[in-house]
Amino acid sequence: MTEMGGDKRVGDQVFGWGIIGSGDIARRFASDLTLIPDAALVANYSRSAAGAEEFRGAHGSHRAYSDLDLFLSDSAIDAVYIATPNSMHLAQALKAVRAGKAILTEKPLAPSHTEASVIQREAARVKVFAMEAMWTRFLPAIVAAKAKVDAGEIGAIRKITAELAYEHKYEPESRYFNRSLGGGASLDLGIYCVSLAMHFLGQPQKISGLWHAAPNGVDISSRITLHYDEAEAQLACGFDRDGANHFVVEGTQGTVRLNAPFLKAQRLTIYRGFAQNAPFGPLPARSSFFAKIFDRLPLPGRRVEEYSFDGNGLQFEAMAVMDAMRSGARSVPIMPLPDSINALRAINIVLAQPAAPQIIKL
Protein backbone atom coordinates (compact mmCIF):
# COMPACT_ATOMS: atom_id res chain seq x y z
CA MET A 1 0.00 0.00 0.00
CA THR A 2 1.05 3.60 -0.41
CA GLU A 3 2.21 6.28 1.98
CA MET A 4 0.47 9.49 0.90
CA GLY A 5 -0.41 12.92 2.11
CA GLY A 6 -3.38 14.93 0.94
CA ASP A 7 -6.86 14.69 2.32
CA LYS A 8 -6.58 11.11 3.63
CA ARG A 9 -5.07 11.10 7.13
CA VAL A 10 -1.61 12.49 6.42
CA GLY A 11 1.17 10.05 7.23
CA ASP A 12 -1.12 7.03 7.51
CA GLN A 13 -0.97 4.06 5.17
CA VAL A 14 -3.76 4.28 2.63
CA PHE A 15 -4.98 1.95 -0.08
CA GLY A 16 -4.79 3.56 -3.49
CA TRP A 17 -7.65 2.97 -5.92
CA GLY A 18 -7.68 3.74 -9.62
CA ILE A 19 -10.90 3.84 -11.65
CA ILE A 20 -11.26 3.01 -15.34
CA GLY A 21 -14.41 4.63 -16.69
CA SER A 22 -16.41 7.74 -15.89
CA GLY A 23 -20.05 6.65 -16.08
CA ASP A 24 -22.65 6.43 -13.34
CA ILE A 25 -21.31 3.28 -11.67
CA ALA A 26 -17.77 4.70 -11.63
CA ARG A 27 -19.09 7.85 -9.97
CA ARG A 28 -20.97 5.86 -7.35
CA PHE A 29 -17.87 3.81 -6.56
CA ALA A 30 -15.77 6.97 -6.24
CA SER A 31 -18.37 8.45 -3.91
CA ASP A 32 -18.44 5.34 -1.71
CA LEU A 33 -14.65 5.27 -1.40
CA THR A 34 -14.98 8.43 0.70
CA LEU A 35 -16.78 6.29 3.31
CA ILE A 36 -13.63 4.18 3.82
CA PRO A 37 -11.14 6.07 6.02
CA ASP A 38 -8.02 4.32 4.69
CA ALA A 39 -8.96 4.33 0.99
CA ALA A 40 -8.02 7.00 -1.53
CA LEU A 41 -8.91 7.59 -5.16
CA VAL A 42 -5.42 8.22 -6.48
CA ALA A 43 -6.11 8.12 -10.21
CA ASN A 44 -8.83 7.86 -12.82
CA TYR A 45 -8.84 7.06 -16.52
CA SER A 46 -11.22 8.12 -19.28
CA ARG A 47 -10.77 7.95 -23.06
CA SER A 48 -10.91 11.75 -23.35
CA ALA A 49 -8.68 14.14 -21.44
CA ALA A 50 -11.63 16.43 -20.80
CA GLY A 51 -13.71 13.58 -19.43
CA ALA A 52 -10.89 12.41 -17.20
CA GLU A 53 -10.34 15.92 -15.81
CA GLU A 54 -14.04 16.45 -15.21
CA PHE A 55 -14.22 13.19 -13.23
CA ARG A 56 -11.10 14.10 -11.25
CA GLY A 57 -12.56 17.47 -10.31
CA ALA A 58 -15.91 16.01 -9.34
CA HIS A 59 -14.54 13.16 -7.21
CA GLY A 60 -11.21 14.37 -5.85
CA SER A 61 -8.97 11.98 -7.73
CA HIS A 62 -5.29 12.91 -7.38
CA ARG A 63 -4.46 12.37 -11.07
CA ALA A 64 -6.47 12.07 -14.28
CA TYR A 65 -5.31 10.10 -17.32
CA SER A 66 -6.51 9.67 -20.88
CA ASP A 67 -3.65 7.26 -21.67
CA LEU A 68 -4.37 3.80 -20.25
CA ASP A 69 -0.73 2.70 -20.22
CA LEU A 70 0.29 5.76 -18.20
CA PHE A 71 -2.63 5.18 -15.83
CA LEU A 72 -1.59 1.56 -15.24
CA SER A 73 2.01 2.59 -14.63
CA ASP A 74 0.97 4.83 -11.71
CA SER A 75 2.74 3.26 -8.73
CA ALA A 76 0.22 4.70 -6.24
CA ILE A 77 -2.57 2.48 -7.59
CA ASP A 78 -2.98 -0.67 -5.49
CA ALA A 79 -6.15 -1.88 -7.26
CA VAL A 80 -8.11 -0.90 -10.34
CA TYR A 81 -11.89 -0.72 -10.49
CA ILE A 82 -13.06 -1.36 -14.06
CA ALA A 83 -16.39 0.37 -14.71
CA THR A 84 -16.79 0.34 -18.47
CA PRO A 85 -19.28 -1.31 -20.86
CA ASN A 86 -19.37 -5.12 -20.68
CA SER A 87 -17.66 -5.58 -24.04
CA MET A 88 -14.52 -3.79 -22.79
CA HIS A 89 -14.01 -5.80 -19.60
CA LEU A 90 -11.86 -8.58 -21.06
CA ALA A 91 -9.31 -6.37 -22.81
CA GLN A 92 -9.02 -3.89 -19.93
CA ALA A 93 -8.84 -6.59 -17.26
CA LEU A 94 -6.06 -8.40 -19.12
CA LYS A 95 -4.13 -5.17 -19.69
CA ALA A 96 -4.41 -4.30 -15.99
CA VAL A 97 -3.33 -7.66 -14.60
CA ARG A 98 -0.43 -7.82 -17.06
CA ALA A 99 0.64 -4.46 -15.66
CA GLY A 100 0.63 -6.06 -12.22
CA LYS A 101 -2.52 -4.31 -11.00
CA ALA A 102 -5.19 -6.01 -8.91
CA ILE A 103 -8.61 -5.73 -10.52
CA LEU A 104 -12.18 -5.36 -9.34
CA THR A 105 -14.19 -5.63 -12.54
CA GLU A 106 -17.79 -4.46 -12.68
CA LYS A 107 -20.35 -7.21 -13.28
CA PRO A 108 -20.46 -9.17 -15.42
CA LEU A 109 -16.77 -10.08 -15.29
CA ALA A 110 -16.97 -10.54 -19.07
CA PRO A 111 -19.75 -11.07 -21.64
CA SER A 112 -19.16 -14.85 -21.65
CA HIS A 113 -17.88 -17.56 -19.37
CA THR A 114 -15.08 -18.37 -21.84
CA GLU A 115 -13.78 -14.78 -21.69
CA ALA A 116 -14.11 -14.79 -17.90
CA SER A 117 -12.01 -17.96 -17.80
CA VAL A 118 -9.28 -16.15 -19.74
CA ILE A 119 -9.21 -13.44 -17.06
CA GLN A 120 -9.02 -16.10 -14.34
CA ARG A 121 -6.10 -17.89 -16.01
CA GLU A 122 -4.15 -14.70 -16.68
CA ALA A 123 -4.61 -13.40 -13.12
CA ALA A 124 -3.37 -16.74 -11.80
CA ARG A 125 -0.41 -16.71 -14.18
CA VAL A 126 0.81 -13.29 -13.10
CA LYS A 127 -0.27 -13.88 -9.48
CA VAL A 128 -2.45 -10.81 -8.96
CA PHE A 129 -5.77 -10.31 -7.20
CA ALA A 130 -8.87 -10.45 -9.42
CA MET A 131 -12.57 -10.31 -8.55
CA GLU A 132 -15.91 -9.51 -10.15
CA ALA A 133 -17.62 -6.52 -8.56
CA MET A 134 -20.78 -8.40 -7.60
CA TRP A 135 -21.34 -5.86 -4.84
CA THR A 136 -24.70 -7.31 -3.78
CA ARG A 137 -23.06 -10.34 -2.17
CA PHE A 138 -21.20 -8.05 0.25
CA LEU A 139 -24.18 -6.05 1.55
CA PRO A 140 -24.88 -6.50 5.29
CA ALA A 141 -28.42 -7.79 4.62
CA ILE A 142 -27.15 -10.41 2.17
CA VAL A 143 -24.35 -11.47 4.51
CA ALA A 144 -26.89 -11.81 7.34
CA ALA A 145 -29.33 -13.79 5.20
CA LYS A 146 -26.60 -16.18 4.06
CA ALA A 147 -25.45 -16.70 7.65
CA LYS A 148 -29.01 -17.50 8.77
CA VAL A 149 -29.54 -19.98 5.96
CA ASP A 150 -26.16 -21.63 6.54
CA ALA A 151 -26.99 -21.93 10.26
CA GLY A 152 -30.18 -23.84 9.40
CA GLU A 153 -32.64 -21.19 10.57
CA ILE A 154 -35.06 -21.98 7.73
CA GLY A 155 -34.09 -25.62 7.29
CA ALA A 156 -32.96 -27.02 3.95
CA ILE A 157 -33.50 -24.79 0.92
CA ARG A 158 -36.23 -26.07 -1.37
CA LYS A 159 -36.85 -23.11 -3.65
CA ILE A 160 -35.48 -19.70 -4.58
CA THR A 161 -37.64 -17.20 -6.43
CA ALA A 162 -36.13 -13.97 -7.72
CA GLU A 163 -37.01 -11.25 -10.18
CA LEU A 164 -35.08 -8.18 -11.23
CA ALA A 165 -36.78 -6.08 -13.90
CA TYR A 166 -36.70 -2.37 -14.69
CA GLU A 167 -38.49 -0.99 -17.71
CA HIS A 168 -36.28 0.73 -20.27
CA LYS A 169 -37.48 2.28 -23.48
CA TYR A 170 -36.06 0.45 -26.46
CA GLU A 171 -33.11 2.47 -27.74
CA PRO A 172 -30.81 0.25 -29.82
CA GLU A 173 -27.72 2.40 -29.19
CA SER A 174 -28.09 2.52 -25.40
CA ARG A 175 -25.87 0.29 -23.30
CA TYR A 176 -28.95 -1.73 -22.35
CA PHE A 177 -29.66 -2.88 -25.90
CA ASN A 178 -26.45 -2.34 -27.88
CA ARG A 179 -24.97 -5.76 -28.68
CA SER A 180 -21.51 -4.31 -29.35
CA LEU A 181 -21.45 -2.95 -25.79
CA GLY A 182 -22.52 -6.28 -24.28
CA GLY A 183 -26.15 -5.23 -23.83
CA GLY A 184 -29.13 -7.37 -22.87
CA ALA A 185 -31.23 -7.90 -19.76
CA SER A 186 -29.50 -11.10 -18.68
CA LEU A 187 -26.01 -9.61 -18.40
CA ASP A 188 -27.30 -6.34 -16.92
CA LEU A 189 -29.89 -7.68 -14.45
CA GLY A 190 -30.16 -11.46 -14.61
CA ILE A 191 -26.55 -11.86 -13.51
CA TYR A 192 -27.56 -10.61 -10.05
CA CYS A 193 -30.28 -13.27 -9.74
CA VAL A 194 -28.10 -16.11 -11.00
CA SER A 195 -25.04 -15.16 -8.98
CA LEU A 196 -26.96 -14.79 -5.74
CA ALA A 197 -28.91 -18.03 -6.25
CA MET A 198 -25.62 -19.88 -6.75
CA HIS A 199 -24.24 -18.12 -3.66
CA PHE A 200 -26.96 -19.85 -1.63
CA LEU A 201 -27.22 -23.16 -3.48
CA GLY A 202 -23.93 -23.70 -5.30
CA GLN A 203 -23.49 -25.05 -8.82
CA PRO A 204 -26.72 -26.57 -10.24
CA GLN A 205 -27.07 -30.02 -11.78
CA LYS A 206 -29.07 -28.66 -14.73
CA ILE A 207 -29.93 -25.30 -16.29
CA SER A 208 -33.00 -24.45 -18.35
CA GLY A 209 -34.76 -21.29 -19.45
CA LEU A 210 -35.98 -19.08 -22.24
CA TRP A 211 -35.54 -15.55 -23.46
CA HIS A 212 -37.35 -12.94 -25.52
CA ALA A 213 -35.67 -10.74 -28.10
CA ALA A 214 -35.73 -6.97 -28.51
CA PRO A 215 -36.16 -5.73 -32.10
CA ASN A 216 -32.38 -5.83 -32.66
CA GLY A 217 -32.05 -9.38 -31.34
CA VAL A 218 -30.58 -8.87 -27.87
CA ASP A 219 -32.50 -10.28 -24.92
CA ILE A 220 -35.10 -7.91 -23.50
CA SER A 221 -36.13 -10.47 -20.89
CA SER A 222 -35.26 -13.97 -19.77
CA ARG A 223 -36.26 -16.72 -17.37
CA ILE A 224 -33.59 -19.03 -16.02
CA THR A 225 -34.14 -22.07 -13.82
CA LEU A 226 -31.34 -23.69 -11.87
CA HIS A 227 -32.13 -27.31 -11.03
CA TYR A 228 -30.69 -29.07 -7.98
CA ASP A 229 -31.33 -32.53 -6.55
CA GLU A 230 -33.72 -31.22 -3.90
CA ALA A 231 -34.16 -27.56 -4.79
CA GLU A 232 -34.88 -25.20 -7.66
CA ALA A 233 -34.15 -21.54 -8.36
CA GLN A 234 -36.64 -19.76 -10.61
CA LEU A 235 -35.13 -16.49 -11.80
CA ALA A 236 -36.48 -13.76 -14.07
CA CYS A 237 -35.20 -10.45 -15.43
CA GLY A 238 -36.19 -7.91 -18.02
CA PHE A 239 -36.21 -4.42 -19.49
CA ASP A 240 -39.84 -4.85 -20.54
CA ARG A 241 -41.46 -4.18 -17.15
CA ASP A 242 -40.91 -3.05 -13.58
CA GLY A 243 -40.72 -6.21 -11.50
CA ALA A 244 -41.24 -7.24 -7.90
CA ASN A 245 -37.44 -7.17 -7.52
CA HIS A 246 -37.22 -9.29 -4.40
CA PHE A 247 -35.27 -12.47 -3.69
CA VAL A 248 -37.01 -15.22 -1.72
CA VAL A 249 -35.37 -18.30 -0.20
CA GLU A 250 -37.88 -20.95 0.92
CA GLY A 251 -36.73 -23.67 3.29
CA THR A 252 -38.32 -26.65 5.02
CA GLN A 253 -38.77 -24.66 8.24
CA GLY A 254 -39.18 -21.07 7.11
CA THR A 255 -38.54 -18.45 4.45
CA VAL A 256 -36.20 -15.48 4.07
CA ARG A 257 -37.10 -12.62 1.75
CA LEU A 258 -34.60 -9.99 0.71
CA ASN A 259 -36.92 -7.05 0.25
CA ALA A 260 -37.03 -5.05 -2.96
CA PRO A 261 -34.83 -3.96 -4.53
CA PHE A 262 -32.75 -6.94 -3.45
CA LEU A 263 -29.66 -5.95 -5.46
CA LYS A 264 -29.13 -3.16 -2.90
CA ALA A 265 -30.99 -4.83 -0.02
CA GLN A 266 -31.27 -2.99 3.28
CA ARG A 267 -34.01 -5.14 4.79
CA LEU A 268 -34.80 -8.81 5.11
CA THR A 269 -37.94 -10.52 6.37
CA ILE A 270 -38.11 -13.95 7.98
CA TYR A 271 -41.36 -15.94 7.79
CA ARG A 272 -42.41 -18.97 9.80
CA GLY A 273 -45.63 -20.93 10.22
CA PHE A 274 -48.86 -19.01 9.58
CA ALA A 275 -46.95 -15.98 8.28
CA GLN A 276 -45.72 -17.97 5.29
CA ASN A 277 -49.21 -18.26 3.82
CA ALA A 278 -50.84 -15.82 1.39
CA PRO A 279 -51.88 -13.05 1.59
CA PHE A 280 -49.35 -12.55 4.39
CA GLY A 281 -46.48 -14.53 2.92
CA PRO A 282 -43.24 -13.63 1.16
CA LEU A 283 -44.77 -13.77 -2.34
CA PRO A 284 -47.99 -11.73 -2.18
CA ALA A 285 -49.87 -10.87 -5.36
CA ARG A 286 -48.06 -7.87 -6.80
CA SER A 287 -51.27 -6.06 -7.65
CA SER A 288 -52.98 -6.66 -4.32
CA PHE A 289 -53.42 -3.46 -2.33
CA PHE A 290 -54.31 -5.46 0.78
CA ALA A 291 -51.20 -7.60 0.47
CA LYS A 292 -49.08 -4.44 0.58
CA ILE A 293 -50.95 -3.31 3.71
CA PHE A 294 -50.52 -6.72 5.37
CA ASP A 295 -46.80 -6.58 4.62
CA ARG A 296 -46.50 -3.53 6.89
CA LEU A 297 -48.56 -4.83 9.82
CA PRO A 298 -47.15 -6.75 12.82
CA LEU A 299 -47.78 -10.44 12.26
CA PRO A 300 -46.95 -13.51 14.38
CA GLY A 301 -44.27 -15.54 12.67
CA ARG A 302 -42.89 -12.65 10.64
CA ARG A 303 -39.77 -10.73 11.65
CA VAL A 304 -38.23 -7.80 9.82
CA GLU A 305 -34.55 -6.93 10.20
CA GLU A 306 -33.05 -3.64 9.01
CA TYR A 307 -29.52 -3.36 7.60
CA SER A 308 -29.28 0.23 6.45
CA PHE A 309 -26.03 1.74 5.24
CA ASP A 310 -24.66 5.04 4.00
CA GLY A 311 -23.84 5.62 0.37
CA ASN A 312 -24.62 3.28 -2.51
CA GLY A 313 -23.36 0.06 -0.97
CA LEU A 314 -20.24 -0.34 -3.11
CA GLN A 315 -17.94 0.32 -0.17
CA PHE A 316 -18.36 -3.19 1.20
CA GLU A 317 -16.86 -4.94 -1.82
CA ALA A 318 -14.04 -2.37 -1.86
CA MET A 319 -13.25 -3.08 1.80
CA ALA A 320 -13.27 -6.84 1.11
CA VAL A 321 -10.71 -6.34 -1.66
CA MET A 322 -8.53 -4.21 0.60
CA ASP A 323 -8.67 -6.72 3.47
CA ALA A 324 -7.84 -9.62 1.15
CA MET A 325 -4.89 -7.88 -0.47
CA ARG A 326 -3.49 -6.76 2.86
CA SER A 327 -3.52 -10.41 3.99
CA GLY A 328 -1.79 -11.51 0.80
CA ALA A 329 -4.83 -13.24 -0.70
CA ARG A 330 -5.62 -13.13 -4.42
CA SER A 331 -9.34 -13.73 -4.04
CA VAL A 332 -12.23 -13.28 -1.59
CA PRO A 333 -14.20 -16.35 -0.38
CA ILE A 334 -17.54 -14.58 -0.84
CA MET A 335 -16.89 -13.92 -4.56
CA PRO A 336 -14.32 -16.30 -6.09
CA LEU A 337 -13.75 -16.20 -9.84
CA PRO A 338 -15.21 -19.70 -10.42
CA ASP A 339 -18.56 -18.36 -9.15
CA SER A 340 -18.42 -15.57 -11.73
CA ILE A 341 -17.65 -18.06 -14.48
CA ASN A 342 -20.43 -20.44 -13.43
CA ALA A 343 -23.05 -17.67 -13.36
CA LEU A 344 -22.03 -16.53 -16.84
CA ARG A 345 -22.11 -20.10 -18.10
CA ALA A 346 -25.74 -20.46 -16.96
CA ILE A 347 -26.73 -17.28 -18.78
CA ASN A 348 -24.79 -18.25 -21.91
CA ILE A 349 -26.50 -21.67 -21.97
CA VAL A 350 -29.95 -20.08 -21.98
CA LEU A 351 -29.10 -17.36 -24.49
CA ALA A 352 -27.58 -19.94 -26.85
CA GLN A 353 -31.11 -21.18 -27.51
CA PRO A 354 -33.34 -19.52 -30.12
CA ALA A 355 -35.45 -16.68 -28.72
CA ALA A 356 -38.92 -17.68 -27.57
CA PRO A 357 -41.89 -16.04 -29.33
CA GLN A 358 -43.50 -13.16 -27.47
CA ILE A 359 -47.04 -13.76 -26.25
CA ILE A 360 -49.09 -10.57 -26.58
CA LYS A 361 -52.23 -10.33 -24.45
CA LEU A 362 -55.15 -8.64 -26.21
Segment 320-338, tens digit of pLDDT: 999 999 999 999 999 999 9
Q: Give CA separation, 219 vs 160, 259, 341, 345, 347, in Å.
A: 23, 26, 20, 16, 11
Give the contacts of 11 (CB within 8 A, at least 6 positions apart): 3, 5
pLDDT of residue 291: 57
| Confidence category of residue 4, pLDDT binned at 50, 70, 90 | very low
| Confidence tier at 8 by pLDDT (50, 70, 90) | very low
pLDDT at residue 278 tops 90: no
Q: How far apart are CA 222 and CA 215, in angstroms?
A: 15
Q: Rg of the chain's alpha carbons, rounded to an integer?
A: 21
Q: Are 60 and 41 in contact (CB under 8 A)?
A: yes
pLDDT tens-digit series, residues 9-41: 333 489 999 999 999 999 999 999 999 999 999
Torsion, Cα of 271, 277, 280, 281 (10° steps): 50
How many other C-beta atoms are found inside a 10 Å radius of the C-beta of residue 24? 9
Residue type, 330: R
The answer to whether the CB of 277 falls within 8 A of the CB of 265 is: no
Confidence of residue 66 (pLDDT cuts 50, 70, 90): very high
Confidence at residue 298, expressed as pLDDT on a 0 to 100 scale: 72
Average pLDDT for 105-130: 98
Q: What is the pLDDT of residue 310?
A: 98
Cα–Cα nearest to 104, from 337, 339, 347: 337
pLDDT of residue 273: 87
Choose among 101, 100, 97, 135: nearest CA to 119. 97
Identify the band that residue 6 occupies on the pLDDT scale cut at 50, 70 and 90: very low
Calpha distance 290→271 (Å, rounded): 18
Quick one: average pLDDT of 169-198? Answer: 97
Sign of the alpha-carbon torsion through 81, 191, 313, 183: positive
Cα(340)–Cα(335) distance, rounded to whole angstroms? 8
User: How far, in Å, CA of 185 to CA of 170, rounded?
Assistant: 12
pLDDT of residue 358: 77
Please determine, for residue 153, whether its predicted confidence score (pLDDT) is greater than 60.
yes
Instruction: Tell me the average pLDDT of the chain.
Output: 93
Helices (H), the chain: 24-33, 49-59, 68-72, 89-98, 113-126, 140-150, 185, 191-201, 289-294, 315-326, 337-351
Q: Please, are residues 104 and 134 in contact by the beta-carbon 8 Å criterion?
A: no
Residue 346: is its pLDDT beyond 90?
Answer: yes
